[in-house]
Amino acid sequence: MCKKTFGIVCVVVASVVLDGGGSVVWAQASGHLSWGPNLLVNGSFEDGFTGWSLTLGAREETGGPEVQSTVSIDSEVAHADLASIRLSGSSDTTLWLAAHSDPVAVRENAQYVLLAWAKAEGVVRDADQYPNSNAYIQFLGSDGAIVRMGRSPVRATPKILGTSDWRELQRVVKAPVGAVAAQVGVALTCTGTVWFDKVELHEVTNVVWHKKVTDRFVFHGEAGQEPKREVI
């Protein structure tokens, strides 16, 4: 499989890689892949919340007391180095905090790949909870406002649910017209605990994603286009 090495152009043809759990994560990514440097600061969370800030991501109106989810740096659980970010909530949680990276400069119409390693423990969607347990990217215009992509303000990785050891979540996205910056977020709005580590954003060029398979979706597309998603 092509390793993401800055400045290195490599070729991957019809490769299939299975992750440790046996589910197909990649299939048949081919073409000349060129990765730029990681744009995010402290995506491994070794420097606490440096480069990240907490924001209210979802609010449930229950009529009862407001209970905030917890987001912390976990120095005992990590995929890379010594620390990760840990998000946790319960069926009583009504205010869900997400962590957003500081904005980084992007180029409209350029393609980016968002990568995040994630680990889950007992993540289930209770009652009226929003089904988020993933990483995502949002683009900002020169006025600082979110540039929507169709009707959606974000593009997200697949979710990590249930109990799962570390696995890499990925999403390739094309920066919309008018985007000058991007922010990456990690969020949990379900009961349980999820850890994220080694969160990275790279510009990628000359990508041809013939097919990309996750537990739930198939991605396919042409060079220069954002991959299409199909439920399988």
Residue ranges binding Ca ion (CB under 5 A): 44, 78, 80-81, 83, 197
Q: Which is nearer to Ca ion, 25 or 83 (CB)?
A: 83
CB of 82 to Ca ion, least distance (A): 6
CB of 78 to Ca ion, least distance (A): 4
Q: Give residues with Cβ within 8 angstroms of 207, minimum separation 6.
A: 29, 31, 33, 111, 113, 172, 223
Q: Which is nearer to Ca ion, 44 or 94 (CB)?
A: 44
CB closest to Ca ion, residue no? 44
- Please say whether the beta carbons of 31 and 42 come within 8 A: no
Alpha-carbon gap, residue 230 to 218, rounded angstroms: 5
Alpha-carbon gap, residue 74 to 77, rounded angstroms: 6
Q: Which is nearer to Ca ion, 174 or 202 (CB)?
A: 202
Q: Which is nearer to Ca ion, 139 or 166 (CB)?
A: 166
CB of 137 to Ca ion, least distance (A): 20
CB of 172 to Ca ion, least distance (A): 23
